[in-house]
């Protein structure tokens, strides 16, 4: 079977589920598994140490799947910015046709991808940013609610509202990011006007995810109370797993007079987060996790997960038709 | 048409939409209009100055509708608690059969209503509270997400996640509260396993709502950025409209060393909030408002609103059946 929405046609995929572009997690094996299962796998550009390494990762992914996949380029607020242009050029030259962009000031990046005939999915946490991205020519918006892992913005607006608002305002198709990890959230997102969903945390906890088994087990054992916001006082809020390191960051941020980035730099180093995934100690550093850790109870293969979502979506929509009488053939809402 | 779910049967209503129990707003005219339109109207018990006045309000409502309606009793953290038992007895003696309870330590109240053969809907903001309410024998849970007006609890969990989690955990039917103001949110809630929705802010902005026209116009003109949390530092967080008074409360709470309730008592007085609704000055005091102020663009009658929800639900479910193929008749998900 298939689930047909505007984005399945645009992206040439069978099921409108996009894998989030997760740092250290979006590697060829996972991206290929998601694409093979029927969704859109995403290689995280900056997970590769250099543009040349990204070229190799793209080639490696192609060996694992002939289906479409994308590359994520996230523009981070950082002192020494990575070579975004170099990563982007490498991916375009390798023939990648789908990009996910996120972060600050994406205009030049979006322009480059569009000039090269690529499809751009851009992630936003507010309607006003989504509308300005529309004007930049993005093809698909990824509307990221308060529940998400990583950066939710500073407005704290949950997906249930934000997606319904997007339906009122947006012209291009949008996918729902943040807070979704099961077929109920998937169908709810479609009802809210989304053309599909983006999932990160759920894919972290699959067989093909490259992170250490201990961390997958930790996600299974966690609840929605096991994430916390850091960097809030710096207006660069990020939702991460609640552990010794993140709670120490929160403590330092809460000191009278607040904290400067220098005060926590050591604690939040990306290399320590990477070590969490490699060594399997959930307390070693900062790692992103969405509220959906509380919905996740197992570690399926991507193929099993997609089958579950497809069957679940069928069952839920069938249940909806039995409670909401649609026999008098009303006009159909745009989805 | 009708929309059939476990709660429409239990409550003997045509459409599974329950009006929230709003202080100063849940008066006979509004409750009767909601019930007449096909939902469950709710009289707010403590809006009446005495149990005897609640008796009169119940009789007044009966003159306006022969359909079922309920009474809300919210247990507030307060220095001089109202005569909860008196209000409850008055309503039971007047023959009310449906109660909505909310707040702290609802056990004795729920026991009293159940002993008197009433149906109890209890509002919770967490799964763990919902599960303990189940053990107290409530018939329906109202699962209230972070988006809601008034008290969201301290966990900050949006409805998109919380409702999907409820589907995993709860045995009794539940309705979705917080963040819902249009047919998309309604169908999304059903997809997330809810048997209906509770709406407060949306009903504030109807023709039959008793609040001043200026305040209704203010809601229409507002966005999701026009609410704010007060009492956060006192761990009794409440989402209210962002105005001069609430921002002053936030400022005082944020002072070095924090604030005591005494420091803000004058600002947050309920009498001032009541005056907002009566006189129409949105800056006069504290008044509750959900994030859905940003979804609300008009002031319909309750009947118009229900027609919109019924037609919208039909269209959205019809749209879902056209994108998710259900022709091979899978089993149906419980809703």
Q: Are B276 and B215 in contact (CB under 8 A)?
A: yes
Structure tokens of B324?
Answer: 């998710």
Partners of residue A291 in chain B, C-beta under 8 Å? 157-158, 161
Distance from CA of B288 to the nearest CA of A (A): 17
A15 and A162 together in one domain: yes
A169 and A265 together in one domain: no
Structure tokens of A151?
Answer: 């950066």
User: Does residue B76 register a pLDDT over 90?
Assistant: no
Residue A172 lies in a domain: yes
Distance from CA of B152 to the nearest CA of A (A): 13
Instruction: Give the pLDDT confidence of B118-177 residue by residue, as tens digits.
Output: 999 999 999 999 999 999 999 999 999 999 999 999 999 999 999 999 999 999 999 999
Partners of residue A258 in chain B, C-beta under 8 Å? none
Distance from CA of B180 to the nearest CA of A (A): 7
Q: From the CB of residue B329, how many other CB atoms can be counted at a distance below 10 Å?
A: 8
Q: From the CB of residue A250, how many other CB atoms can be counted at a distance below 10 Å?
A: 19
Counting Cα atoms < 13 Å in the Cβ hemisphere of B220 gives: 13
User: Does residue B101 register a pLDDT over 60?
Assistant: yes
- DSSP helix, strand, coil percent of chain B (3-state; round to 5): 45, 15, 40
Nearest to A149 by CA among A217, A222, A97, A40: A222
CA distance A135 to A128: 11
A204 and A233 together in one domain: no
Which of B1, B195, B315, B317 has the highest number of chain A CBs within 10 A, making it the mutation to test binding with A?
Answer: B317
Structure tokens of B317?
Answer: 């479910």
Which of A144, A169, A191, A295 has the highest number of chain B CBs within 10 A, making it the mutation to test binding with B?
Answer: A191
Angle at CA A203, nearest 5°, toward A202 and A209? 140
CB within 8 Å: B190 and A324: yes
Per-residue pLDDT of chain A (335 residues; tens, 9 = 90+): 789 999 999 999 999 999 999 999 999 999 999 999 999 999 999 999 999 999 999 999 999 999 999 999 999 877 788 999 999 999 999 999 999 999 988 999 999 999 999 999 999 999 999 999 999 999 999 999 999 999 999 999 999 999 999 999 999 999 999 999 999 999 999 999 999 999 999 999 999 999 999 999 999 999 999 999 999 999 999 999 999 999 999 999 999 888 999 999 999 999 999 999 999 999 999 999 999 999 999 999 999 999 999 999 999 999 999 999 765 545 666 55
Instruction: Give the pLDDT confidence of B201-223 residue by residue, as tens digits.
Output: 999 999 999 999 999 999 999 99
The reported pLDDT for the residue numbered B77 is: 76
CB contact set of A37 (below 8 Å; sequence gap of 6+): A15, A301, A302, A303, A305, A306
Q: Are A6 and A195 in contact (CB under 8 A)?
A: yes
Partners of residue A2 in chain B, C-beta under 8 Å? 325
B196 and B230 together in one domain: no
B230 and B130 together in one domain: no
A253 and A304 together in one domain: no
B145 and B43 together in one domain: yes
The reported pLDDT for the residue numbered B326 is: 66
Structure tokens of A319?
Answer: 């249940």
DSSP A142-188: EEE-TT-SB---SS---HHHHHHHHHHH-SS-EEEESS--SHHHHHH
Query: What mean pLDDT value characterizes chain B?
Result: 95
With CA atoms as reference, the chain A residue closest to B224 would be A157
B151 and B32 together in one domain: yes
CA distance A120 to A113: 7
With CA atoms as reference, the chain A residue closest to B229 would be A156
CB within 8 Å: A333 and B318: yes
CB within 8 Å: A295 and B157: no
| Minimum-distance CB partner of A184 among B2, B167, B329 | B167
Range of the domain at B54: 6-210+299-323
With CA atoms as reference, the chain A residue closest to B188 would be A188
How many domains are there within chain A?
A: 2
Distance from CA of B35 to the nearest CA of A (A): 19
CB within 8 Å: B161 and A147: yes
Partners of residue B317 in chain A, C-beta under 8 Å? 317, 320-321, 324, 326
CB contact set of B321 (below 8 Å; sequence gap of 6+): A317, A321, A326
The reported pLDDT for the residue numbered B28 is: 98
Specify which residues B240 forms β-bridges with: B228, B288
CB within 8 Å: A323 and B316: no
CB within 8 Å: A160 and B167: no
CA distance A129 to A186: 23
CA distance B125 to B21: 15
φ/ψ of residue B255, rounded to 5: -60, 150
Q: Are A44 and A72 in contact (CB under 8 A)?
A: yes
Structure tokens of A71?
Answer: 């590359």
Strands (E), chain B: 17-19, 41-44, 69-75, 98-103, 119-124, 140-144, 174-177, 197-199, 227-230, 238-241
Residue B185 lies in a domain: yes
With CA atoms as reference, the chain B residue closest to A309 would be B324
Q: Are B251 and B232 in contact (CB under 8 A)?
A: no
Sign of the CA dihedral running A115, A116, A117, A120? negative
Q: Are B287 and B273 in contact (CB under 8 A)?
A: yes
A127 and A206 together in one domain: yes
Report the number of secondary-structure helices (H) and strands (E) in chain B: 14, 10
A79 and A136 together in one domain: yes
SS3 call for B204: helix
Sheet bearing A98-103, strands edge to edge: A17-19, A197-199, A174-177, A140-144, A119-124, A98-103, A69-75, A41-44
User: Does residue B79 register a pLDDT over 90?
Assistant: no
SS3 call for A213: helix
DSSP B36-94: HHTSBEEEEGGGSSSHHHHHHHHHHHHHH-SS-EEEEEEE---SS---HHHHHHHHHHT
The reported pLDDT for the residue numbered A77 is: 76
Partners of residue B320 in chain A, C-beta under 8 Å? 187, 190-191, 317, 320, 335
User: Does residue B96 register a pLDDT over 60?
Assistant: yes
CA distance A9 to A4: 7
CB within 8 Å: B164 and A184: yes
CB within 8 Å: A319 and B335: yes
Instruction: Give the pLDDT confidence of B267-313 residue by residue, as tens digits.
Output: 999 999 999 999 999 999 999 999 999 999 999 999 999 999 999 99
Residue B293 lies in a domain: no
Distance from CA of B303 to the nearest CA of A (A): 18
The reported pLDDT for the residue numbered B2 is: 81
Long-range contacts of A138-141 (CB under 8 A, 24+ apart): A138/A101, A138/A110, A138/A172, A139/A10, A139/A172, A139/A173, A140/A7, A140/A10, A140/A11, A140/A172, A140/A173, A140/A174, A140/A175, A140/A195, A141/A166, A141/A170, A141/A172, A141/A173, A141/A174, A141/A175
Residue A69 lies in a domain: yes
Distance from CA of A316 to the nearest CA of B (A): 5
Distance, C-alpha A254 to centroid of its chain: 29
CB within 8 Å: A185 and B168: no
Q: Are B71 and B35 in contact (CB under 8 A)?
A: no
CB within 8 Å: A161 and B192: no
Residue B126 lies in a domain: yes
With CA atoms as reference, the chain A residue closest to B159 would be A160
A168 and A248 together in one domain: no
CB within 8 Å: B160 and A167: no
User: Does residue B181 register a pLDDT over 70?
Assistant: yes
CB within 8 Å: B185 and A192: yes
pLDDT band at B328 (very low <50, low <70, confident <90, very high): low
Give the CATH number for residue A63: 3.20.20.70
Residue A202 lies in a domain: yes
Which of B130, B161, B227, B229 has the highest number of chain A CBs within 10 A, making it the mutation to test binding with A?
Answer: B161
Residue B331 lies in a domain: no
Question: What share of chain B in percent tops pLDDT 90?
Answer: 93
Structure tokens of B12?
Answer: 């003997």
A146 and A34 together in one domain: yes
Residue A1 lies in a domain: no
């Amino acid at each position: 079977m298939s689930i047909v929405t505007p984005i399945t046609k645009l992206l040439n995929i069978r099921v409108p589920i996009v894998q989030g572009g997760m740092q250290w997690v979006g590697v060829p094996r996972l991206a290929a598994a998601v694409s093979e299962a029927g969704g859109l796998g995403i290689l995280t550009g900056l997970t590769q140490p250099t543009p040349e390494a990204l070229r190799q990762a793209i080639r490696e992914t192609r060996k694992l799947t002939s289906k479409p996949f994308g590359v994520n380029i996230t523009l981070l607020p950082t002192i020494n910015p990575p070579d975004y242009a170099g990563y982007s050029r490498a991916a375009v030259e390798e023939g990648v046709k789908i990009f996910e962009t996120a972060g600050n000031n994406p205009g030049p990046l979006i322009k480059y991808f569009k000039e090269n005939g690529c499809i751009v999915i851009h992630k936003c946490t507010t309607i006003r940013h989504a509308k300005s991205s529309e004007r930049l020519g993005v093809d698909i918006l990824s509307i990221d609610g308060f529940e998400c892992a990583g950066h939710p913005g500073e407005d704290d607006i949950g997906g249930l509202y934000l997606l319904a608002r997007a339906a009122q305002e947006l012209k291009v198709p949008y996918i729902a990011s943040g807070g979704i990890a099961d077929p109920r959230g998937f169908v709810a997102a479609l009802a809210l006007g989304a053309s599909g969903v983006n999932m990160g945390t759920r894919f972290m906890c699959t067989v093909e995810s490259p992170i250490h088994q201990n961390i997958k087990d930790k996600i299974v054992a966690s609840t929605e109370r096991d994430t916390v916001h850091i960097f809030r006082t710096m207006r660069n809020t990020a939702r991460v797993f609640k552990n010794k390191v993140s709670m120490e960051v929160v403590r330092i941020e809460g000191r009278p007079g607040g904290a400067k980035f220098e005060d926590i730099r050591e604690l939040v180093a990306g290399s320590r987060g990477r070590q969490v995934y490699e060594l399997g100690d959930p307390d070693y550093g900062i790692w992103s996790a969405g509220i959906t850790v509380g919905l996740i109870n197992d570690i399926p293969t991507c193929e099993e997960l997609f089958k579950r979502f497809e069957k679940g979506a069928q069952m839920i929509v069938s249940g909806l038709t039995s409670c909401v009488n649609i026999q008098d053939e009303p006009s159909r809402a745009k989805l």
